[in-house]
Amino acid sequence: MATIHIVGAGIAGLSAAVSLAHVGHRIFLYESSTHAGGRCRSYHDTTLDCMIDNGNHLLLSGNTAVMDYLRIIGAENSLVGPREPAFHFFDVTTSERWCVKPNLGRFPWWIFSNKHRVPGSNAIDYLKAIKLAKATPDTLVTDVFDPHDSLFERYWEPLAVSVLNTPANEGAAQLLWPVLLETFGRGGKYSRPMIAKKGLSDSFVDPALTYLENAGAKIRFGARLRGILKSQDGFTLSVLNFSDGIVELGNNDSVIFALPAPVLGDIFKDISPPRLHYPIVNVHFRLGTPPTSIGTTKFMGIVGGTAEWLFIRGDVISVTVSAAKELAEKPASEISALTWLDISKALKLNESLPKLVRVVKEKRATFAQTPQSLQLRANTDTAIKNLKLAGDWTNTGLPATIEGAIRSGKSAAKAVLREFC
């Protein structure tokens, strides 16, 4: 019986493993660290004395790959969000608040209502997004949306930067269109914001590991891939050299590399993956008691400040700043002070800076999603017959998101199955 070896137990690797185990294949999953999930996981923070996510992730109900993945691993009820789409915003400079409320149906009548759109905007401002459909690989976000337009700062820029983790004047506009088309373009039913109820590991990682173990998959932690050997003809892999031992591949075995782009580029010289990355900074504050000043809102967009997105889970308030190259260079004390100023205004809190704070700098959060980097995204199939690639940086047609990572894993699994047919 052939074995499928998956190297990397981040979300892309887990997705590939789940997709293959789902149809009854023998799986070996290797992970260099002591835990699965990669950049999408939870851990117990000793300073806050509670579980936190290493990074905040906002999902949309139209993320079909995410929903399918959660259903398979039995975690479809682990996400929470409003029954109807609602995106709350707060402007730090003006103290203005608003809520973008797309209607549930496919026709976007909400853009014609002052109560449902950004203050000062009109319907035509939103229809300009259709120009994204004609974006070429070289088109920047600021080529489509006027950066001097008030709606750009209050809506399009926060959306684009959070999706691409790249400044709008550098980001590839082409990646935004499929995101909008699959969510907002299908109506409010598919654009409800959702977050993990208890944490990313509880939703995406732990149930997947349980599912794989029940399916007979073998998981090896602490197994760092150091090198590979090809067959004499150079068209198949024959050996995987791990830090804890060598794995000799059988004639019918297949391999999926679900590794970060820089790691794979150092090991597999046949490709030149994207090397430029942008950081994401997350700051977690533990208050002791849950904030109640803004009702049941679990997340909020922040405009005009340092923080960009605010998340509330119990008594822990977290903020996320994407494409945070300059902010990531600042000391943690300064970052926490700057973001707390925004939080205290947004949540109407009179408290001083909390003592329980954790600043997390993910320096290589995603590859820089620029037109230049898009040309370096690798395809699932490689010149090596028994090797496939997965990862949010591969050529999924989507930005480097959880949805993109899961789709890449599914694509790699399908490519492996084609080899067996």
CA distance 146 to 131: 12
- Which tens digits make up the pLDDT trace of 104-143? 999 999 999 999 999 999 999 999 999 999 999 999 999 9
Are 410 and 71 in contact by the 8 Å Cβ rule? The answer is: no
pLDDT on residue 22: 80
3-state secondary structure (DSSP) of residue 13: helix
Q: Place 23 in a pLDDT band, splitting at 50, 70 and 90.
A: confident
pLDDT on residue 249: 95
- What average pLDDT does the structure give for the chain? 95
pLDDT on residue 296: 75
State the pTM of this model. 0.96
- Which tens digits make up the pLDDT trace of 276-309? 999 999 999 999 999 887 777 889 999 999 999 9
Mean pLDDT, range 12-35, rounded to an integer: 94
Q: Place 180 in a pLDDT band, splitting at 50, 70 and 90.
A: very high
Mean pLDDT, range 178-202, rounded to an integer: 95
Structure tokens at 171: 């980001």
CA distance 379 to 125: 36
Are 16 and 413 in contact by the 8 Å Cβ rule? The answer is: yes
Amino acid at 33: S
CATH architecture of 3-43+200-273+372-420: 3-Layer(bba) Sandwich (3.50)
Mean pLDDT, range 157-170, rounded to an integer: 97
pLDDT on residue 295: 73
Counting residues of the chain whose pLDDT is more than 90, the rounded percentage is: 91
Residue whose pair of structure tokens reads 């008691």 in the numeric block: 289
* Residues contacting 402, CB < 8 A, separation 6+: 11, 40, 57, 59, 63, 66, 204, 392
Are 66 and 402 in contact by the 8 Å Cβ rule? The answer is: yes
pLDDT on residue 233: 87
CA distance 346 to 302: 8
Domain ranges of the chain: 3-43+200-273+372-420, 87-191
- Which tens digits make up the pLDDT trace of 215-247? 999 999 999 999 999 998 889 999 999 999 999
Question: Which of 53-57, 74-78, 328-332, 404-408 is predicted least confidently?
Answer: 53-57
Closest CA to 242 of 1, 400, 8: 8
Structure tokens at 352: 């001083």
Q: Place 351 in a pLDDT band, splitting at 50, 70 and 90.
A: confident
On the CB side of 267, CA atoms within 13 Å amount to 22
pLDDT on residue 421: 58
pLDDT on residue 123: 94
pLDDT on residue 1: 64
Are 180 and 164 in contact by the 8 Å Cβ rule? The answer is: no
Q: Place 380 in a pLDDT band, splitting at 50, 70 and 90.
A: very high
- Which tens digits make up the pLDDT trace of 313-345? 999 999 999 999 999 999 999 999 999 999 999
pLDDT on residue 24: 80
